Every structure is written in structure tokens, then in C-alpha cells.
Amino acid sequence: MTHPSKNKGNGYERELVNQAKRAGLKAKRAYASNGQSLGMHEEVDCLIAGQRIQAKRRKKLLKGIQDMIGLLEHTDAVVFREDKCESFVLVRWSDWLDLHSSLEKIDWTETYERDKNF
């Protein structure tokens, strides 16, 4: 019998993939939450718009992350890092879907042809 937390994680992965598909993006969930089934690292749970996604759902998030999520009420993104480490960006899932949906509609061949002449 599957553990309840495994069921919760699987459900969240399916939820993300379905939302991405409704947004018009290509999306696929890795079999058994193992990215190796998609030819990727085992930590990859979903492939959405060509992006490798690790899906995490928690009952309670760490305080620092909760504070950053609160900042999204008045901003589009939060960029953060630890000292002497690389930066990361935190955005709302709906904004991420909108961004990638917009990118999918761009004819990149025009941009490539224009830029290669520089």
C-alpha cells in the first residue's frame, strides 16, 4: 500500500502537470516520480515547458520561505541567496505558467536570424 505522503506528492505532481497543460504548455510527469524515466536525473518529478521541475508540497514551510512568499503580495518575484552562494528566484506558479506560455508563442527563428547578424 502506498504511503499517504507519497500519494500527496503524486497528486501534487499531477496537479502541476494538468495546470501546465491547461496553460497550453507541454508537460509530463515522471513515472514513479523518478526523472530517469524521462532520461533525466532521478530528482526530476515533471518536465514542463522543457524545464525540469522538482515538486515539493509541505504542510508547513520554513519561516524564511513564508516571509518571502508574503513579499509576493506586492512584488512579481523575490530573488534571494545565502552569502557567497548563487541567487535564486521565487515566483508565483501562475506567473511562471504565464511566462512560459508567452515564451512558447514567440517565433524564435526571427529573433535568431536578426541577432546572428550582429
Between CA 108 and CA 105 the distance in angstroms is 9
Kindly report the average pLDDT of the chain as a whole number.
Answer: 90
Mean pLDDT of the region 56-67: 88
What's the total number of domains in the chain? Answer: 1
Residue 118: inside a domain: no
Residue 114: the pLDDT is 67
Q: Which domain holds residue 27?
A: 4-113
Q: Is the pLDDT of residue 118 over 80?
A: no
Neighbours of 96 (CB within 10 A): 19
Helix (H) / strand (E) element for 27: namely strand 27-29
Residue 26: inside a domain: yes
Residue 81: inside a domain: yes
Backbone angles phi, psi at 47, to 5 degrees: -120, 115
Q: Is the pLDDT of residue 25 over 70?
A: yes
Residue 54: inside a domain: yes
Tens-place pLDDT, residues 64-95: 899 999 999 999 999 888 899 999 999 999 99
